[in-house]
Structure 1
């Protein structure tokens, strides 16, 4: 199970994020997208 949560970061460049609160999950997705856009200079 640890592979799904953290082990995929090195192999696939991503991790599994599980949150049963849809608002918190959406906030995390938006935060991650903003970070990726900033890294690409797409602010």
Structure 2
């Protein structure tokens, strides 16, 4: 999946490898943040009436 994204960015969107590295880094960070948000949301649901 990751390799497919890199290939798509490079060949289909004509993005250079340095920019692809930055994009992948940001996508990974947003995935991590989304997981934390989901975990906290689920945790707080325990305290809801």
TM-score of the aligned structures, taking structure 1 as reference length: 0.51
| Structure 1 residue 28: Cα displacement | 0.2
Higher helix share: 2
Gap regions ≥5 residues in structure 2: 7-16, 42-49
1:1-43 deviation digits (Å, cap 9, x = unpaired): xxxxxxxxxxxxxxx223341000000000000000100008x
Cα-Cα RMSD: 1.9
Aligned length: 27
* Distance in 2 separating the partners of 1:37 and 1:22: 23
Deviant stretches of 4+, over 4 Å: none
